[in-house]
Structure 1
Amino acid sequence: MEDLQVKLASAVGKVPPQGNPLVSHKFGADPYALVFDGRVYLYTTNDVLEYGEDGSVKDNTYGNINKIGIISSADLVNWTDHGIINVAGSEGAAKWATQSWAPAIAHKVINGQDKFFLYFANNASGIGVLEGDSPVGPWKDPIGKALILRSTPGVEKVTWLFDPAVLVDDDGKAYIYFGGGVPEGKDESPDTARVMQLGDDMISVVGEAQVIPAPFMFEDAGINKYNGTYYFTYCSNFYNGDRPEGSPPAGEIAYMTSDSPMGPWTYRGTILKNPGHFFGVGGNNHHVIFEFKNAWYIAHHAQTLSKAMGVPKGYRSTHLNELKFQDADQSIQEITANYEGAAQVQLFNPYESVEAATIGWNAGIATEASSDGSLTVTDIDSGDWIALSKVDFGSNGASSFAASVSEASAAAVVELRLDAADGKLIGTLPVRATGDQAAEYQTEVSGAEGVHDLYLVFKGQPDSKLFKLHSWQFGQ
């Protein structure tokens, strides 16, 4: 089957060699970052297409979103899909909640153990928290109710009780930032942003929430500490009347600074225009700032994938760009959002076992959870492919390739190609019909030395799903 003449599928949304959006086989909005053990994990609101009775895609209502997505990367271009967290509803960890929007994540060592705390918005009516022992769970609801409600001291006048952000400070004390919305007639000074201290257990709050006087506040709390200065970031509202000079324009990411995590705060300006300015499709603006491998980044969302699919109706995808602080005046350089994205920070190692749902670019595939909790690449048609960026085969090169597959309905092959889906062929892995069984296959490889983009191109019987791919690895 090596000479199969198959029409190759085309990448949609994330197109080589671009880095944005980060993934294109699913959506992911309202990103929040955790850096742990050499990887950055991004947690996102799990946007999923909604359909009308006629089968057409409807505008995103957000009302059915009760899951949070996770992806992670060691290099910022190749991302591993870790699937979804069932947060709210009857199948969720927090059965009292109905939605899970705009997550935040924090790590803290408690009694000598790594603990991870996932905060989420139950629509705009409260904030909940889940607890886990790893960045990908499993997750439990440690308190069985909301962490913050309008009955919480200092929170009564918050219009939208959502969009949390969390800072664990150098002294171990933690703080949660949240809120949003615009009371009628208060566009310039909504006073709906809040900060509150968390308990040492990270699942309780201490004292009374304090107002953050963010000009033209709308939503999307963010918090960072850099060189002893605290940076509160947020999205400005869409008021279309006159704004005083120096005010944030509509729908932009603005920032304030303070010498204390609780304030007082000084407004400084804006750092990221609305996605409509860069990509021709607007909507809300949501971000997170994080440090990774001695550089700073901003993850933010835009409707680029849904636009490329022809359905720009509120379904959002995460993007990444580098961010720079200005030490001289504690300011932040304005960011130019783009499709190029962040530079790859390390080469990809093909000689370790790679989860199949680790993807730089793709065409046609989907992912789904397998029985062992890992994700498989599925929905594979002949001509589909996945690709990895800047794979380091070394000076001696690769001599073999092995993969784990299941549910092969008929004989198929995986072509291994360099630098393009129709690039240099370095090996062909035959896959036999397995039925429902999982099987390991191996083949010889030649001509793979140095650094190349790697394409796994799937070919087989047309008009049928070929198989599910679980993992793969090269040998030297």
Structure 2
Amino acid sequence: MRTNYIKVNGGDIEYSVHDAVANIELKLLDTGAVAKIPGYANPLISHKFGADPHAMVYDGRVYIYLTNDQYEYDANGNVVPNTYGKINTVTVISSDDMINWTDHGAIPVAGPNGAAKWATQSWAVSVEHRNIEGKDKFFLYFSNNASGIGVLTSDSPIGPWTDPLGKPLVARNTPEADGVTWLFDPAAFVDDDGQAYLYYGGGVPGSPPTQEQAESPKTARVIKLSDDMIHTEGEAKVIDAPFLFEASGIHKRNGKYYYSYSTNFSGVREADDPKTGEIAYMISEDPMGPFKYVGTALKNPYLFFGVGGNNHQDFFEFKGQTYITYHAQTLAKELGTAQGYRSPHINKVEYDENGHIKDVKADMKGVSQVTSLDPYKRNEAETIAWNAGISTEKSEAPGSLVESINLNVTDINNGEWIAVSQADFGKNRAVSFETNIASTSGGTIEIRLDSPIGKVIGTLDVKPTGGDQEWQLMKTKVKNVSGRHNIFFMFKGEGENNLFNMDYWKFTTSEQSISSK
């Protein structure tokens, strides 16, 4: 078979003609996957929703923090439009390759079970990290609906989180809130010199607003953060963004500061004005402004996906490439519940010779995988490229990043599956497979390469362990496998109840097997 090479982040990744053919075949298969079909990268996850994505790059991974959209129901059990009033947790996912995303679960932010018990909601967060006294610290800024902004701190990107203030960082009764209609949507930013800033605000004054108020709401703000990242310093500056609505965002490129936002749905638009529900941006030589309006970077999701609504974005750089993460109701559309339930997406960003952002082309194809997955290390079962039918839940088994924080894959029934993209077995050849399992019913895991109907390299007979959180490491031999492959874990069993829970998995080479004896 003819082998080719593509450049990824300055290095060569081997691929074959078979890879391209396999991707085409995957997209044609009726796999049972919803929205994120095998071979595509958007939406990032399809076993749950998530909105208002914010990206933080840390230690070779991208962490995406999401407003935790979850179905609301009426008295008859029917899905009703999302009111956002019940959201008090934040979902975290992460990836080192942009295709396989690890679900780290929900951060309890607001309410009686949250870190910030004074708050009632947690919308649209921003997370930054900073080295303080020789130790990396993480800071999560969240919206308590539209009435204030809080901050939580942690020693890791996924928690656990604590509330250092016991009150809002920016409250309605503070000078920083003067003239701000909606006191929410924080965007934190640490500049190259170490100075940190907080961007926030939104809404359109007036009921109904005048044309002038629609064109120039003047409800966005920027203020300096103190060295400890949990207090503000000095006065807030107004950002006069044309047709501003919400979703403050900030990123830096070539010494210039790009302030981005979502446009409002009020007023009359002229030819050069941003249209409704788009992501627009401004540029400045100074993080405090003034900012000069440039144009739009991303049109409304309706143009690309046939389902509209608001949007919320974050620009970030990862391994030399700029991306934009945003949300759209693509999963909800496929499920027939496009009533404000949103899903995260990522697409590439390119600039012209003037440093202006070229129009982003949002799509379901998404971005390319930037590095292969290592099948010989512990891989969380909730690290998923594509899936059909499963969900995740909090696990009692110890986690790998933080011992007290771990998830497992659950709601596993006959015919359902999970898959990872482009695992590199190398030339060592895998000889065995092991996974941490908890089960009351039992079943089988059929391991296939490349697709749900691909070559079977092994089958694990899952025996009951005595409970859904009674964990046991199970192993099976696999046929020799080398090279790069998608891995599909196909689940089989009898009955309508959950067959088993899956915590993590890994393959072993013959050399590893010998050394462990």
**Cα 1:369/1:411, change in 2 over 3 Å:** closer
Question: Does the 8 A contact of 1:216 with 1:236 survive in 2?
Answer: yes
**Cα 1:404/1:154, change in 2 over 3 Å:** closer
Please tell me the residue identity of whatever aligns with 1:14: K
Q: Within 2, Cα distance between the matches of 1:410 and 1:312?
A: 35
Aligned to 1:471: 504
Aligned to 1:346: 371
Aligned to 1:454: 487
Select the residue among 402, 408, 422 that pairs with 1:390. Answer: 422
Q: Within 2, Cα distance between the matches of 1:464 and 1:249?
A: 49
1:435 corresponds to 2:466: yes
| TM-score using structure 1 length | 0.96
Matches within 5 A, 1:71-470: 71-184=93-206, 185=210, 186-239=213-266, 241-326=267-352, 328-371=353-396, 372=398, 373-406=405-438, 408-436=439-467, 437-470=470-503
Aligned to 2:5: none
Question: Does the 8 A contact of 1:9 with 1:364 survive in 2?
Answer: no
Give secondary structure in 2 for the equivalent of 1:308: helix
Question: Does the 8 A contact of 2:442 with 2:500 survive in 1?
Answer: no
My pick for the range that moved more, 446-455 or 48-57, is: 446-455
Please tell me the residue identity of whatever aligns with 1:341: G
Give secondary structure in 2 for the equivalent of 1:142: coil
Question: Does the 8 A contact of 1:357 with 1:375 survive in 2?
Answer: yes
> What displacement does 1:325 show?
2.5
Q: Which string of whole-angstrom CA distances, capped at 9 and with x for unpartnered residues, describes residues 144-164 of structure 1?
A: 000001332242110000001
Fraction of identical pairs, as percent = 55
Question: Does the 8 A contact of 1:9 with 1:383 survive in 2?
Answer: no
Question: Does the 8 A contact of 1:29 with 1:45 survive in 2?
Answer: yes
> What displacement does 1:460 show?
1.1
Q: Within 1, Cα distance between the matches of 2:268 and 2:500?
A: 58
> What displacement does 1:448 show?
2.0
Q: Which runs of 5+ in 1 are unaligned?
A: 1-7
Question: Does the 8 A contact of 2:149 with 2:168 survive in 1?
Answer: yes
> What displacement does 1:245 show?
3.3
Q: Which string of whole-angstrom CA distances, capped at 9 and with x for unpartnered residues, describes residues 119-175 of structure 1?
A: 000000000000000101110000000000133224211000000101101111100
Please tell me the residue identity of whatever aligns with 2:406: S
Aligned to 1:3: none
Q: Within 2, Cα distance between the matches of 1:367 and 1:180?
A: 34
Q: Within 2, Cα distance between the matches of 1:23 and 1:74?
A: 15
Question: Does the 8 A contact of 1:126 with 1:161 survive in 2?
Answer: yes
Please tell me the residue identity of whatever aligns with 1:254: A
Question: Does the 8 A contact of 2:123 with 2:143 survive in 1?
Answer: yes
Q: Within 1, Cα distance between the matches of 2:125 and 2:77?
A: 30
Give secondary structure in 2 for the equivalent of 1:391: strand
Q: Which string of whole-angstrom CA distances, capped at 9 and with x for unpartnered residues, describes residues 195-223 of structure 1?
A: 01111110000111110000000000000
Q: Within 2, Cα distance between the matches of 1:170 and 1:150?
A: 31
> What displacement does 1:462 show?
2.9
1:56 corresponds to 2:78: yes
- The total of aligned residue pairs comes to 466
Question: Does the 8 A contact of 2:281 with 2:296 survive in 1?
Answer: yes
Q: Within 2, Cα distance between the matches of 1:358 and 1:154?
A: 41
> What displacement does 1:447 show?
4.2
Please tell me the residue identity of whatever aligns with 1:292: F
> What displacement does 1:9 show?
6.5
> What displacement does 1:412 show?
1.2
Give secondary structure in 2 for the equivalent of 1:402: strand
Q: Which string of whole-angstrom CA distances, capped at 9 and with x for unpartnered residues, describes residues 371-399 of structure 1?
A: 23211000100111000011111123211
Please tell me the residue identity of whatever aligns with 1:290: F
Q: Within 2, Cα distance between the matches of 1:154 and 1:60?
A: 30
Question: Does the 8 A contact of 2:31 with 2:452 survive in 1?
Answer: no
Larger RCO: 1 or 2 (CA < 8 Å, sep 6+): 1
Q: Which string of whole-angstrom CA distances, capped at 9 and with x for unpartnered residues, describes residues 40-65 of structure 1?
A: 00000000000011111000000000
Aligned to 1:17: 39
Q: Within 2, Cα distance between the matches of 1:411 and 1:178?
A: 50
Q: Within 1, Cα distance between the matches of 2:292 and 2:179?
A: 22
Give secondary structure in 2 for the equivalent of 1:332: coil
> What displacement does 1:435 show?
1.4
Q: Within 1, Cα distance between the matches of 2:508 and 2:156?
A: 30
Q: Within 1, Cα distance between the matches of 2:442 and 2:367?
A: 39
| TM-score using structure 2 length | 0.89
Question: Does the 8 A contact of 1:196 with 1:206 survive in 2?
Answer: yes
Give secondary structure in 2 for the equivalent of 1:441: strand
Give secondary structure in 1 for the equivalent of 2:304: helix
Question: Does the 8 A contact of 1:153 with 1:207 survive in 2?
Answer: no
Q: Within 1, Cα distance between the matches of 2:496 and 2:291?
A: 60
Aligned to 2:14: none
Please tell me the residue identity of whatever aligns with 1:144: G
Aligned to 2:3: none
Please tell me the residue identity of whatever aligns with 2:254: N
Give secondary structure in 2 for the equivalent of 1:413: strand
Question: Does the 8 A contact of 1:9 with 1:384 survive in 2?
Answer: no
Please tell me the residue identity of whatever aligns with 1:424: K
| Moved >6 Å (runs of 4+) | none
Q: Within 2, Cα distance between the matches of 1:243 and 1:153?
A: 32
Give secondary structure in 2 for the equivalent of 1:208: strand
Q: Which runs of 5+ in 2 are unaligned?
A: 1-29, 399-404, 510-517
Give secondary structure in 1 for the equivalent of 2:214: coil
Compute the RMSD of aligned alpha carbons: 1.1
